[in-house]
């Protein structure tokens, strides 16, 4: 978009240029450094700095007497709406999908199901589509099995005591003993799988996302089974581990 050259907009642009410069400056710059680097005329720069300082958007550094961002910006930031979980995780899913060229998603628990919060769809002709808001039973999908592996023993026993394992496909787990064994293995290795147990022809792999030590959700990849080879499984594991760590760091 081309900037409007009217004086009012130009002054606003210049003020924002100052704030952006200060935000990335390694040391609080002096007036002469700002004058040389930003290219604003001396009189205009002096007026803008005075105005920004009067509104607490910038301040003078006590040690260097240079300029730094002020408390007024922090007050504005506190009132700004926080990004949704979907907005926070989507860039990481997009990057993961580009890295492995497969579909991936982020899930949270909703009662006895997991729900897709966000997804990134593979550009390959043969790919799986995850729709935001879609839900699946905990026992039938890789993300759900991660949730089950996070449960305390009493909560897991309560879940297994009341849930009915209804087949979504011929490969859906129907044995609670087998499901419990699988959960124990997931706790050991940190990854869960769904081998065509919810969607025919699709194999999925998932791992937990944590904010510090707190479990916050699940990230997975869903791949046509014909592409889920041993070599790619190792690639998916590494990529999921990196993405889960990055999301967890971003959620702090």
Does pLDDT of 6 surpass 60?
no
Task: Write the pLDDT tens digit of every residue in 150-181.
Answer: 999 999 999 999 999 999 999 999 999 999 99
Give CA–CA dist 15/165, Å, rounded: 62
Task: Write the pLDDT tens digit of every residue in 105-161.
Answer: 999 999 999 999 999 999 888 888 889 999 999 999 999 999 999 999 999 999 999
Give CA–CA dist 48/222, Å, rounded: 53
Cα separations in angstroms, 190 against 109, 154, 218, 219: 17, 20, 11, 12
Does pLDDT of 5 surpass 60?
no
Tell me what pLDDT residue 2 has: 43
- Residue written as tokens 């699709």? 202
Task: Write the pLDDT tens digit of every residue in 40-69.
Answer: 999 999 999 999 999 999 999 988 999 999
Tell me what pLDDT residue 9 has: 72
- Domains belonging to the chain, first-starting first, are 7-79 (1.10.10.10), 85-250 (3.30.450.40)
């Amino acid at each position: 978009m081309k900037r409007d050259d009217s004086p009012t907009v130009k002054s606003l642009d210049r003020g924002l240029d100052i704030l952006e410069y200060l935000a990335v400056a390694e040391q609080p710059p002096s007036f002469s450094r700002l004058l040389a680097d930003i290219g604003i005329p001396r009189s205009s720069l002096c007026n803008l700095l005075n105005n920004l300082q009067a509104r607490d958007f910038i301040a003078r550094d006590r040690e260097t007497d240079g300029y730094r961002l002020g408390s007024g910006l922090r007050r504005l930031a506190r009132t700004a709406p926080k990004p949704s979980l979907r907005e926070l995780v989507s860039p990481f899913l997009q990057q993961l999908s580009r890295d492995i060229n497969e579909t991936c998603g982020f899930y949270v628990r909703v009662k006895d199901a997991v729900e897709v919060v966000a997804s990134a769809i593979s550009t390959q002709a043969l790919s799986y589509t995850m729709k935001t808001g879609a839900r699946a039973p905990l026992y039938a999908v890789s993300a759900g099995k991660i949730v089950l592996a996070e449960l305390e023993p009493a909560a897991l026993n309560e879940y297994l005591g009341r849930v009915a394992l209804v087949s979504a496909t011929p490969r859906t787990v129907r044995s609670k003993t087998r499901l419990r064994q699988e959960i124990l293995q997931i706790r050991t290795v940190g990854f869960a799988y769904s081998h065509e147990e919810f969607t025919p022809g699709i194999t999925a792999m998932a791992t937990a996302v944590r904010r510090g030590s707190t479990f916050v959700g699940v990230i997975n990849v869903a791949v046509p089974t014909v592409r889920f080879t041993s070599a790619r499984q190792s690639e998916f594991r590494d990529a999921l581990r990196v993405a889960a760590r990055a999301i967890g760091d971003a959620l702090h």
